[in-house]
Amino acid sequence: DIVMTQSPLSLPVTPGEPAFISCRSSQSLLHSNGYNYLDWYLQKPGQSPQPLIYLGSDRASGVSDRFNGSGSGTDFTLKLSRVEAEDVGVYYCMQALQTPITFGQGTRLEIK
């Protein structure tokens, strides 16, 4: 199984400041078609997960341009520019290259 490792696990951020979440995979997520099969999801308190980023860097429909995904191979980053109160929740990276699909442990973002 591909192991997904996120850091940090807890991320206190001042509103208006940027935030960075790292995700590393135990195997390359680069498909032969040239795309990285890596998605990001946000689970807000008391809610079900919602998609943010797919294929490493493409924003899902309706997602703010404050969210940006980058990286390739085994190293990926989710950047939130200008964190807002509504961004609070747990962020998960997920690999979709092979089954079983696996998620990172989650990064809990909180407002300072």
In single-letter form, the type of residue at position 78 comes to L
Residues in a beta bridge with 94? 39, 103
Would you say 16 or 34 has its CB closer to another protein?
A: 34
E strand or H helix at 107: strand 107-111
SS3 85: helix
Would you say 54 or 76 has its CB closer to another protein?
A: 54
Buried b (16+ CB within 10 A) or exposed e, 56-70: bbebeeebeeebbbe
Would you say 99 or 112 has its CB closer to another protein?
A: 99
Contact between 2 and 94 (Cβ < 8 Å): no
Binding footprint of another protein on the chain (CB under 8 A): 33-35, 37, 39, 41, 43, 47-51, 54-55, 58, 60-61, 90, 92, 94, 96, 99-106
CB of 13 to another protein, least distance (A): 20
Would you say 16 or 62 has its CB closer to another protein?
A: 62
